[in-house]
Amino acid sequence: MRAAARAQPNIALVKYWGKRDTERNLPAVGSISITLADLSTTMRVEFDETLAGDSLRVNGQPSDAMLPRVSRCLDAVAGQERSRATVVSESNFPIAAGLASSASAFAALVVAADAAAGTGHGREQLANLAGMASGSAARSIYGGFVELANAGDHVAVATLCAAEDWPLTVVVAITASGPKVVGSTQAMETSRDTSPFYARWVEQQSADLDEARAAIGAQDFPRLAAVAEHNCLKMHSVMWASRPPMVYWNATTLECMEAVRDMQADGIPVFFTIDAGPQLKAVCDPSAAAAVRERLETTAGVEAVMVTGLGEGARLLTDG
Ligand code: 2P0
């Protein structure tokens, strides 16, 4: 009745922003992401019929705030009649700072809970269960370049290109640590309810997905760079035009963006993307990784830099 699983966060190149069904947490738009290699969350789940309630520890500390969401996810995987569980989560990167910690956490949680409960869900089902807990978590079930598509009352998720077939490098510039001001779930609803650009955002997404899919199929870096930066800035424009406005960037985020622009002008194959947080993620060809790292590390205000390749999807650990 116990198991452990590991999953990595993913970074969307064509973003998920907005929900079409808040009850089942279904996204309003499809998305395309890359799963990272070196940042990870390990989840240990143990069901025990003698326990009176679920418990959760995150990086050694009890986490009552996240517990209801984890309990609902366990109900979805193992059924309402399940035994209560002890859940222990360890991440090797800062949580709740726009680095998709919920994606790696819930992807690892559903894989561990499925094994611990012996429910034997298929991969597609696990992606849907992870997505119900956190939309982006569905993508971390898979590795490499991953597309999530809306399909009726569920999502269809698949790897478009394996990590080893187009091994890009991601350099994450941490410009501020600590939890974000507005959580994504609330921010998405505010955008849908108030942003004059939201409807256009949803309408244009399939064109961006087509463009990114084609760029990935052809391993065309400049083409992928152009659509990814466009889609990122469009998502942030939706947020900026919301009421109240949601601006996740700080001055250092902009300094990093300018550093990426300077590198592009020098012919370095790199592009940026930014999620619901102030960190800038630079995606580059591995041959440029050292230069990109050095440039971002020496950009004023950057607190730390993390470098990673692309990795595999969520998986069980045998030392469970
Ligand atoms: C993404 N983000 O595609 C986008 C870009 C943030 C900006 O998916 O409400 O934490 O739990 O389904 O998965 C963050 O959203 O949101 C996210 P919920 P989630 O990566």
Mind listing the pLDDT tens digit for each residue in 286-309? 999 999 999 999 999 999 999 999
| Ligand 1 pocket residue status of 135, Cβ below 6 Å | yes
- Percentage of residues of the chain with pLDDT beyond 90: 92
State the pTM of this model.
0.96
pLDDT of residue 179: 67
**Per-residue confidence band for 96, with pLDDT thresholds at 50, 70 and 90:** very low
Ligand 1 centroid vs 96 CA: distance in angstroms?
11
> For residue 309, what are the CA distances in angstroms to 10, 11, 58, 263, 264?
11, 12, 25, 20, 20
Residue 181, pLDDT > 90, answer no
Q: What is the whole-number distance in angstroms between the Cα of residue 136 and the centre of ligand 1?
A: 5
What's the rounded mean pLDDT across residues 308-313? 98
Q: Of 198, 182, 184, which is closest to residue 137 (Cα–Cα)?
A: 184
Give the pair of three-digit tokens for residue 296.
């971002």
Ligand 1 contact, 106 CB (< 6 A): no
Asked if pLDDT for residue 100 goes beyond 70, the answer is: no
Summarised one tens digit per residue, pLDDT across range 25-67 is 999 999 999 999 999 999 999 999 999 999 999 999 999 989 9
Task: Tell me the average pLDDT across 166-194.
Answer: 91
Q: What whole-number distance in Å separates Cα of residue 185 and Cα of residue 195? A: 15
Residues 235-287: pLDDT tens digits? 999 999 999 999 999 999 999 999 999 999 999 999 999 999 999 999 999 99
The chain-wide mean pLDDT, for the chain, equals: 95
Cα(207)–Cα(213) distance, integer angstroms: 10
